[in-house]
Amino acid sequence: MKKSFLFLLVIVALSALFLFFITKKLEDAKPEVVVVLKELDTQYWKIVEAGAKKGFRDFGIDGKVIAPSSKSAQEDQEKILNKILNEKPDVLVVAPVNSYKYKSILEKFVDNKIPVLLLDTNIPLENKSSYIGTDNYELGRKAGALLASELQPGDEVALIAGISADPVSGDRLRGAKSSLEAVGIESVTEKVDLPNESSRIKKAIREVLQHHPNVKGVFATSDIMALSALEELEKQGYKIPVIGTDGTTEMVELVEEGELSSTVAQNPYDMGYLSAQAAMNIAKGKNVDTIIDSGVDYIIKGNGNERLTFLKKILK
């Protein structure tokens, strides 16, 4: 009887020890998180990548960042997403290239119990876990207000934008127009559906100047567009304010050098970092906010140097 009791105690102790080690192993297991960006060929997306990777390290995530080449982003991102679906990561973070085409693919992740976090670009995906990024209408509104602060009622401005149906470009465009119209500044022309290609943007600016030589300012929905527009305007002898949206090093440098008076800036590093943090929380079964706003900053001469130092450090 005594031996049986001791044997039972040993079995109970071993079972408890086994459960402890299994539980500890599960607690120590790093969640697998895949971040799919639109591309990695431009500075903006490299900054997002740096933020995500810092988040992986800080939050103990087994993570990777992948993206298609910018030349074939739409087709390649579709292939990437289908491949990841078969790999079954714990969490997917994605900045979809095509806002509507990828909705059905992302719904498959949700159907397979893989949480989906949208990064940078918010699309109408009903069961997404969260959107991490900029309120693009608010970004456009602030950019328009900043441009208006340098002009007078009745002045003419040009707006240049990417795909107008895309929620990022479209929302920024609408936000900028709302601020400009509110103070009586006329948007005399909109060049939309432009690619982030310097030659196409410069051609669009030449067309603007040909038909609207009295234009007094330009708003662009990306810094790549803003920089190309500024270069062509200077070539044509125009020194007028150009407002971009991304806060890349070149735009901030132009403000600090006095070539531009100001610009607005997203926080792509924060987007990447916050997405990793949200992914970890979801993997642990915690609730996250449905919208995680990474904010918008005003850049004026004197406040950009700290940002420049930080960006140059992470882009080395």
Which of 89-103, 151-165, 172-186 is least confident?
Answer: 89-103
pLDDT over 50 (residue 194): yes
Q: Is the model's pTM score more than 0.85?
A: yes
Amino acid 16: pLDDT? 56
Amino acid 237: pLDDT? 96
Categorize the per-residue pLDDT at 23 as very low, low, confident or very high, splitting at 50, 70 and 90: very low
DSSP string, 100-143: TTTHHHHHHHHHTT--EEEESS----TT-SEEEE--HHHHHHHH
The arithmetic mean of pLDDT across residues 54-66, rounded, is 97
Which residues, in sequence order, are CB contacts of 88 under 8 Å at separation 6+? Answer: 112, 114
User: In the chain, what percentage of residues exceed pLDDT 90?
Assistant: 74
Condensed to tens digits (0 to 9), the pLDDT of residues 200-217 reads 999 999 999 999 999 999
Condensed to tens digits (0 to 9), the pLDDT of residues 222-271 reads 999 999 999 999 999 999 999 999 999 999 999 999 999 899 999 999 99
Maximum distance among all Cα pairs of the chain, rounded to whole angstroms: 104
